Amino acid sequence: MHPVRILVPVDGSEESESILPALMPLLRGLPAQVALLQVVDKSDDLDAAQRGLHRLSQSLLAEGILASHRTEWGRPAEEIEYHAREEGFDLLAMATHGRSGLRRVLMGSIAETVLRHASLPVLLTRPGARVGDWRRIVLALDGSPRAEAVFPDVVQLARPLGATVHALTVNLPAYLMGDVHHVPLFPPSQDLLPYLNGVCDRLTAEGVLTLPATADGTAASGIARYAEDIGAGLIACTTHGRSGLARLFLGSVAEDVLRHAPCPLLVRRTVHARVLSRH
């Protein structure tokens, strides 16, 4: 297996650097190479940025993790997107609340630019989220093929880490207030077990122990609460499902998941997708 190549944008703040502890389960469990990137403009202290990147890369090397670093001039979203695409990275990892260009990631134009154009999975964490092992992974589903596009990424992580995957669907209300498009694919009375058992069979055949799970409530609250209850180390989902997940990372559901998720999120955009690890 080739090392997983990970692009990690930081901005010199402790908040943005919180992505590194969140990445440790992957970095210690799989062969990986980390490329640290800081985008600066004329108002930034270039020397300070380079010293900070050197410090971070040395701390990773001390852990036995291959790491490199670089600074670039420009607009953060454009530079992040360009390097992620053109240099063939397998994963983009960032914290949701840094400073500078990452201050409003997932809340403003930078998030829209990066996530709408990302052709690779994105690992997101927020300061304060629990950092632990990934032995329990919540796979958020809604029954649509697009929501299942994250399967290959989950398998590539769960199998070598020996993780148990919890295939989760949320029983949503018939209509969610304020957004008529959030009509659930699964009515509350529908038996979800046949669908979930089918998912479990498919992933088990790939060598991943998978358990069916359901939760009640809105998509965001149900996902976050279930992950908290089982002590999950990671939540995996796509950005284009239906039901409550249809606008994940584009509206209030995204904000709620990010504010309340107890652990990092692995997000797969379903258009022009690539599998996490290359062979």
User: Mean pLDDT per 10-residue run, the chain (279 residues)?
Assistant: 89 87 91 94 83 96 94 88 90 73 48 71 85 92 86 94 94 51 47 90 97 88 93 87 44 62 87 47
pTM of the model: 0.84
DSSP state of 9: E
d(CA 120, CA 277): 10
The pLDDT of residue 62 is: 94
What are the Cα distances from residue 156, in Å, to 118, 209, 241, 276? 19, 13, 21, 7
Q: How high is the pLDDT of residue 218?
A: 80
Every domain of the chain and the residues it spans: 4-125, 136-268
Burial (CB count <10 Å: 0-12, 13-18, 19+), residue 149: buried
Domains 4-125 and 136-268 fall in the same CATH topology: yes
pLDDT of residue 13: 84
pLDDT value for 242: 40
At position 243, the amino acid (one-letter code) is S
d(CA 114, CA 82): 9
Whole-number Å distance between alpha carbons of 225 and 256: 11
What are the Cα distances from residue 236, in Å, to 32, 138, 268?
A: 19, 6, 8
Q: Do the Cβ atoms of 241 and 147 come closer than 8 Å?
A: yes
Please answer whether residues 33 and 70 qualify as being in contact, where contact means their C-beta atoms are separated by less than 8 angstroms.
no
**CB-facing half-sphere around the CA of 236: CA atoms within 13 A:** 27
DSSP string, 142-197: -SSTGGGGGHHHHHHHHHHHTPEEEEEEEE--SS-TT-TT---SS-TTS--HHHHH
What is the per-residue pLDDT for 250? Answer: 43
CA-CA distances (angstroms) from residue 11 to 145, 214, 260, 267, 268?
Answer: 36, 38, 24, 21, 24
Domain spanning 4-125: CATH 3.40.50.620: yes
Q: Does domain 136-268 have CATH number 3.40.640.10?
A: no
